[in-house]
Amino acid sequence: MQTSPAAVSPSSRPTREPDLRAPLIQVTNLQKTYKTPRGTLNLFTGLDLQVQRGEMVAIVGQSGAGKSTLLHILGALDAPSAGTVYCASTNVANLSPREAAAFRNREIGYVWQFHYLLPEFTALENVAMPLLARGATKREALALAANWLKEVGLDDRGSHRPGELSGGEQQRVALARALVNNPRLLLADEPTGDLDQTTAGRVFDLIESLHASHGLTSILVTHNLDLASRCTRALKLESGRLVPFAAASHSGPHPGTM
């Protein structure tokens, strides 16, 4: 496991570690309601989810089913309308904006379909950002970021700006940035959705390997059933709930209409 710099590690996690056998994620009776011009949209209808530590869970489902919203709620980027959401021993529904930001920085690595790297900074500086946000010195942050670039196979690309990297390389840098603070939970929203099939497979290989080597718990939203079939288990979000999904390996076109 990567060691955090001394400046940012003490008291960065609750000192009383919870029962390690307890699920890392426990969602009960989750509801999310949006008021829209056409009326109330009830996105989740009492959704329940338990994820054990070390699991790699795929979430599939039609576009608009609420997959991104669910990840946002788990990652304290959005609030539930009702229900309880325990994530990494924290009741994420009860966090103030400041606490939510600290929780995200400490516990969550987030990867999106698009890398959202800052174009004016180098790959190395992009990876160092979350460490700086957490109080590491520039020297410590750059040293750890360099280790992470090496870990994602890009130690020779540190001085490149995102625009000088391929799509797969950009996503590798985004993964390094997501994990540089040593979070427990990786949330990935279509992490390979913008990549060709071969590159998508390689990026997924990397996610799998980082998941195992860093003891992560990972939740991946994907339309790619081949990749979903490689996860510990797959769930389908339909009619506001999660149901078990048999993601047998599929070949052929990307099932983008799911």
Instruction: Kindly list the residues in this chain that would bind ligand ADP in the complex (CB under 6 A).
Output: 34, 36, 41, 43, 61, 63-69
Least CB distance from residue 238 to ligand ADP, whole Å? 10
Question: If you write DSSP's letter for every residue of 51-118 in order, what string do you get?
Answer: E-TT-EEEEE--TTSSHHHHHHHHTTSS--SEEEEEETTEEGGG--HHHHHHHHHHHEEEE-SS----
At which residue do the structure tokens 């930001």 appear? 101
Least CB distance from residue 92 to ligand ADP, whole Å? 16
Nearer to ligand ADP, 63 or 213 (CB): 63
Nearer to ligand ADP, 145 or 186 (CB): 186
Question: If you write DSSP's letter for every residue of 151-183 in order, what string do you get?
Answer: HTT-GGGTT--GGGS-HHHHHHHHHHHHHTT--
Q: How far apart are the first and last CA of the chain?
A: 36
Least CB distance from residue 32 to ligand ADP, whole Å? 8
The DSSP bridge partners found for residue 56 are 218
Least CB distance from residue 193 to ligand ADP, whole Å? 11
Nearer to ligand ADP, 58 or 144 (CB): 58
The structure tokens listed for 69 are 């919203």
Nearer to ligand ADP, 112 or 148 (CB): 112
Return the number of other C-beta atoms located less than 10 Å from residue 36's C-beta.
Answer: 8
Least CB distance from residue 4 to ligand ADP, whole Å? 32
Least CB distance from residue 72 to ligand ADP, whole Å? 7
Return the number of other C-beta atoms located less than 10 Å from residue 72's C-beta.
Answer: 17
